[in-house]
Amino acid sequence: MATVELDPALDILGVVREKDLKEHAQTTEYAVLAAVMRNLSETHSWAATDKLLNVILGIRNNGIVDAILDRMPGLSLLGDYAWCICDSQKTVLLGIKWTGEVVIHPSAGEGLTTTRMPGMTILSDYAWCICDSQKTVLFGIKWSGEIVIHPSALSGLAPSGSTGFAWDEGRTGQRDVFVMVDGVPYQVTSSGDNTSANIQSGQVSYVERNGMTTGRTVPMPEAGTIADFVKAIIHVIFLGQSLACGINSGTPVTRQPPSANRVLTIKDGIQLSDEKGVLSSDMVVPFQPMVAKTKEPPCMQAAAEVNRSRCLPANAGLLISNHGRGAQGIQSLNKGTIPYENSLTAIREAKAECDRKGWPYSVPCISWNQGQHDGGMAEGVYYALLVQLQLDYKADIQAITGETGPLPMIITQMSNWTAPVYKRAFSNIPHEQYQVSLDFPDRFVVAGPQYWLPSNTDGIHLPADSYSRDGTALSGALGALIKGERWLPTACVEAVRSDTKVILRFNVPNGPLAIDTVNVSDPGFWGLRWVDSTDSATITAVQLTGFNTIEVTLSNVPTGAQPMIGVADIGIAGNRAGPTTGPRTCIRDSSPLLDCFGVPVYNWACHNLVPVTSI
Sign of CA dihedral 114, 118, 119, 123: negative
Q: What secondary structure letter does DSSP report for 604?
A: B
Residue 465's SS3 state is: helix
401's CB contacts (< 8 A; 6+ apart) are 347, 351, 361, 362, 363
Closest C-alpha among 557, 589, 599 to residue 490: 589
3-state class percentages of the chain: helix first, strand second, coil last, to nearest 5: 20, 30, 50
| pTM as predicted | 0.76
Task: Tell me the C-alpha to C-alpha distance, in Å, between residue 370 and each of 187, 244, 363, 385.
Answer: 33, 7, 20, 12
Residue 81: phi, psi to the nearest 5?
Answer: -105, 130
Q: How far apart are CA 53 and CA 74, in angstroms?
A: 21
The domain made up of 232-412+472-478 has a fold known as Rossmann fold (3.40.50)
Distance CA 518, CA 96 (A): 51
Residue type, 306: V
Pick the closest to residue 96 from 106, 86, 88 (CA basis). 86
* Strand stretches in 162-307, DSSP E: 166-169, 176-181, 184-187, 193-200, 203-210, 212-219, 232-240, 263-265, 288-289
Distance CA 88, CA 72 (A): 22
Q: 594: which DSSP letter?
A: B
Q: Which pLDDT score, from 0 to 100, does residue 122 have?
A: 42
Domain ranges of the chain: 2-156, 160-223, 232-412+472-478, 491-614
For residue 35, the model assigns a pLDDT of 47
Question: Could you list the mean pLDDT of each consecutive 10-residue stretch along the chain, which spans 615 residues?
Answer: 40 41 48 47 64 63 58 44 64 65 57 34 59 68 64 42 77 94 96 94 93 93 97 98 98 97 98 95 98 98 98 98 97 98 98 98 98 97 98 98 97 98 97 98 98 97 98 98 97 98 98 98 98 98 98 98 98 98 98 95 98 97
Query: DSSP character for 165?
Result: -
The DSSP H or E segment spanning 501 is strand 501-507
Question: Helices (H), strands (E): how many in the chain?
Answer: 8, 35
What topology is assigned to 491-614 in CATH? Immunoglobulin-like (2.60.40)
Q: Assess whether the previous peptide bond of 558 is cis (omega < 30° from 0).
A: no
Encoded amino acid at 310, one letter: R
How far is Cα 458 from Cα 474, in angstroms, rounded to an integer? 23
